[in-house]
Structure 1
């Protein structure tokens, strides 16, 4: 009995007992490496959670202090995970569990104090002053855990959404949801709030199904530290301003605003201010500013940063447009589809369709062959190999080279598109906003579509929603005209002074007849974004016909392509 009492008295007290013990304990672990240090903190918090009981204010002060000290080690472990995408599977699994497990323990620890928030003793012991910090840090850890689920293309567990909604609602009730303060005073230069942490969680969720890489998701999350302050949650829906909503009584994240999305459980927000900030950032990067100057991170390089920003701009612009469009009814089917991507490749497949019954002999053709255009785009001249291939083609016909296609399973169709299932390992290029050429069966022609939605179903299975832009596209060649008008005929090639052939500056594009949202028919063109100029005229060569056109309003922008309305000036 004496030995048992002695062991109890000699047992080290928990560092979460009071601030004095916590401070001494933190000094001892400060010399350890990040992995060991985080393990010590995680172990101490786990033991604290094993002994239920009514927590006191000194324990809360100790928890806040230990959490402060753990941030450097926790950040180092998170950086190790994000910066090493090719790590061994067992190492990835261990780091993932360490990060998610630590986040969950901190959520559980803070939740113990939140559950007793209404007790009178806490209102007299300084607990009220700590409540904004407690809720904001809880929301911060929920967002971190959600991000690590996105890294694996997993859905965030419903219990996390339930907790996040509850914590944010508590901050609203107490009236400090937007009160600014430093989340971790020793490390944060800026300020945050319960609303900022909650909005950051919601906005990252809107991009979670975009098939982004680990590094890209992490960049966006860092950018949302500042961008979240450009979003305002509203209790009342404004049709002309709001684009997303969330139900505080449902275990799920953001959703499209529906007619039934009304009442007290819902909060609404719009993207106009946030999208404007993204567009301004893109302009400044294209103007020569560095990502570090714009607060985008010192490890972010301009080309990859610019590509990601353009993708985000495209996706949120699409979200604004889709907020006013109701989806048509879908019907279950089971079909196979051939799929290609990239504007050049799509143009070749569409052009082969266009020329099935209008092939021209080589000696009388009036168009530049696609192989020649590709050579000019890649090398700046037509290669001898291409000339030889054209001469050897049966009957002297023009044909597109055989292109490898991918096979997708179509499982539902609607008036404007379809849903497909594909293997992630074979289609890691798929992103919302990607332009596709799709052929449903060998007997059908190639259609032009764009990826709208992505959702991970399993370890190697992705569901994607595709909108069909046109079932009857036409592949064309375009040439910019220097000036506002021209009466000169279309020139395909010219002899140089040295006797060689010089090809004009022709580009590939797709002509799409399109029915607008108001039901009106319009002529449209999809071309590379780098080939677009709003103040120039273009010659468009469609098979044996030539048109002079001007480009009108922009219908949509992808990462490297642009879709515009066009007006025919003369034929």
Structure 2
């Protein structure tokens, strides 16, 4: 009994190997959210690991993380593939994932701190340092990815903690140590590669992609990972740079940064050629066998992602098509196809559906705007908007192309103007017997920027048929619209291109 009083064995239930195995075995197999939540609870209990030897803490955290992996993958699939998640469900899934990776990084960080303090027994961590650093950097990167799914904000502290972890891996001489990150993985990685992956992820401008597109972009980055260049000095091929000691993300190498021993430079390198070959393969209808996208995706889904990456991996950054001018002006905004159609018919704005945003810059191509009060869950990349500038009586039609949260209640958006004038019409298939209610489809004709005799038409989803002509009446004249191609699809609309001909009725 007296010996028990002075025992170094911790009171934590997971200190016993049998209890740890039991806790993992009892994770529910049919409820991924509950399984991850239970692992989170165990990880939270380890934040003050009294009595745990450093290696024992690492092994406990490692096993809990590995047990959570299949459930985390299931939750990520639910988040990315479930159609129109409610705001509550979206927030619930986002929060449990973001919390998991944040807490995991803190615990692996505790292991590194213990080793560097030379705590009693911490020398046993030395052979595990390559894995600890890799998983720590991966945890920071996955936090960043989930924040990008949510379009931010990303605080500078995350970049600084990530950079510090990488520099410590270098200092310990393990940054280039190759290893398998998880049991069952086929491709080895290093701490340097994991860090480079995160840098290239940020440099690829994810704020103009949908969450699923962000996931696909990251998987393509992983596929090209070994081909990126990462150097301590600038080279003729360098495109971006970062100071890992600073709370700042990487930036384009527009000019030489102030000298510092911590500066790192990186570039797509040979990955540009690999990406070009990948684009050609997708256009031919094939994919490399070793490209793991986590599922089967059509060229229509994948090609825009690859083309986006090609633009941002190019030696020269994409240039703005139109010059921006700073302004400060209110915008009245309504969202969605139905509301936009209503205002373009000349009707009143739907009650309770209007929002007031602040236009901060304007160009021929669109607006940059500040959203001071996020409402509902509709705002996302690809959302259709009708906008009325302060003092004007005309409405503009646009689509959200960039989206970044400044906080939980505020955001910045980039809006592409589709048309400065849209014509609301009622469409029917050519040859239908009458303009009966069952046959009518609402649409908006856009002539801005079109070739003579062509028009874009915004219609509800699943309306466009490449074999079906449409008719409408504009200013008393019958028009015949013959389909050319479908240009874009959103959650509640399609934009298709048609040839516009006068119909004989």
Shared fold (TM-score, shorter chain, > 0.5): yes
Instruction: Return the match for 1:204 from 182, 201, 206.
Output: 201
| 1:259-309 C-alpha deviation (Å, 9 max, x unpaired) | 362322332212343332222111101112147664333333332122322
1:139 counterpart (137, 140, 151): 137
1:363-442 alignment, distance < 5 Å: 409-412=358-361, 419-421=368-370, 428=380, 430=382
The residue number in structure 1 matching 2:28 is 33
Once the two structures are superposed, the pairs formed by residues 68-87 of structure 1 within 5 Å of their partners are 68-87=66-85
2:46 aligns with 48
Contact 1:336-1:441 within 8 A present in 2 as well: no
CA distance in 2, matches of 1:141, 1:247: 20
Q: 1:259 aligns to what?
A: 255
The number of aligned residues is: 421
Q: CA deviation at 1:80?
A: 3.3
Distance 2:205 2:317 in 1: 17
Larger mean CA deviation between 69-78 and 100-109 belongs to 69-78
- CA displacement, residues 391-426 of structure 1 (integer Å, 9 cap, x when unaligned): xxxxxxxxxx99xx9998532368999633468977
Match of 1:226 in 2: 223
8 Å Cα contact 2:380/2:400 also seen in 1: no
Per-residue CA deviation, residues 90-123 of structure 1 (Å, 9 max, x unaligned), is 4433333322222222212111121133355789
Flag the 1:258–1:55 CA change in 2: closer, same or farther, 3 A: farther
Q: Is residue 2:256 matched to residue 1:250?
A: no
Residue among 282, 285, 306 paired with 1:285: 282
**Is the 2:242–2:251 contact (alpha carbons within 8 Å) kept by the matching residues of 1?**
yes
1:463 is aligned to 412
Of residues 32-41 and 136-145 in structure 1, the stretch that sits farther from structure 2 once superposed is 32-41
Shift of 1:456: 3.1
CA contact (8 A) 1:209 1:454 kept: no
Query: How do 1:112-151 and structure 2 match up within 5 A?
Result: 112-119=110-117, 125-151=123-149
Task: Tell me whether 455-464 or 229-238 shows the greater mean CA deviation.
Answer: 455-464
Residues 1:295 and 2:292 aligned together: yes
Quote the RMSD (CA, aligned, Å): 5.2
Distance 2:149 2:304 in 1: 19
Alpha-carbon contact 1:37-1:73 (below 8 Å) kept: yes
Shift of 1:37: 4.0
> Would the aligned equivalents of 1:104 and 1:145 in 2 still touch at CA under 8 Å?
yes
Q: 1:263 to 1:428 in 2, by over 3 A?
A: same
C-alpha distance after superposition, 1:370-405 (max 9, x if no partner): xxxxxxxxxxxxxxxxxxxxxxxxxxxxxxx99xx9
**1:363 alignment partner in structure 2:** none
Q: Please say if residues 148 and 207 of structure 2, whose CA atoms lie closer than 8 Å, have aligned partners that are also in contact.
A: no
**Is contact 2:244-2:263 (8 Å) kept?**
yes
On the 8 A contact 2:328/2:358 being kept in 1, the answer is no
1:225–1:288 Cα change, 3 Å: same
Residues 337/257 of structure 1: CA separation in 2 closer, same or farther (3 Å cut): farther
Contact 2:10–2:51 (8 Å) recurs in 1:
no
Would you say the 8 A contact 2:403–2:411 is kept in 1? yes
TM-score (norm 2): 0.65
Cα deviation for residue 24 of structure 1 reads 5.8
Change (3 A) 1:336 1:28: closer
- Helix, strand or coil for the counterpart of 2:168? helix
2:265 alignment partner, SS class: strand
Tell me if the contact between 1:281 and 1:294 (Cα under 8 Å) persists in the aligned partners.
no
SS of the residue aligned with 1:410? strand
Quick one: distance in 1 between partners of 2:79 and 2:449? 47
Of the three residues 291, 307, 318, the one matched with 1:310 is: 307
1: CA distance, partners of 2:89 / 2:113 = 36
User: Cα deviation per residue 1:236-275 (whole Å; 9 max; x = unaligned)?
Assistant: 223x422222221222322233536232233221234333
**Which residue in 2 is equivalent to 1:367?**
none
Q: Gapped runs of 5+ residues in structure 1? A: 340-400, 480-502, 509-527, 530-559, 562-571
SS of equivalent to 2:303: helix
Determine whether 1:274 maps to 2:277. Answer: no
- Note the C-alpha offset of 1:136: 0.8
Distance between the aligned counterparts of 1:178 and 1:223, measured in 2? 22
- Residue equivalent to 1:65: 63
Cα displacement string for residues 11-36 of structure 1 (whole angstroms, at most 9, x for unaligned residues):
96442x4xxx3366225532531444
Match of 1:514 in 2: none
Query: What is the alpha-carbon distance in structure 2 between the residues aligned to residue 438 and residue 316 of structure 1?
Result: 36
Partner of residue 214, structure 2: 217
**Contact conserved, 1:235 with 1:268, CA < 8 A, in 2?**
yes
**Residues 258, 286 of structure 1: CA spacing in aligned structure 2 closer, same or farther, 3 A cutoff?**
closer
Instruction: Indicate how the Cα distance of structure 1 residues 81 and 124 shifts in structure 2: closer, same or farther if over 3 A, else same.
Output: closer
Instruction: Give the alignment's TM-score, normalised by structure 1.
Output: 0.58
CA deviations on 1:476-510 (whole Å, 9 max, x unpaired) are 4499xxxxxxxxxxxxxxxxxxxxxxx9x9999xx
User: For each residue in 1:335-360, what CA deviation from the matched residue of structure 2 results, as whole angstroms up to 9, or x when unmatched?
Assistant: 76999xxxxxxxxxxxxxxxxxxxxx
- Report the Cα offset of residue 454 of structure 1: 4.6
- Spell out, residue by residue over 1:520-548, the C-alpha distance to the aligned partner (whole angstroms, 9 max, x if none): xxxxxxxx99xxxxxxxxxxxxxxxxxxx
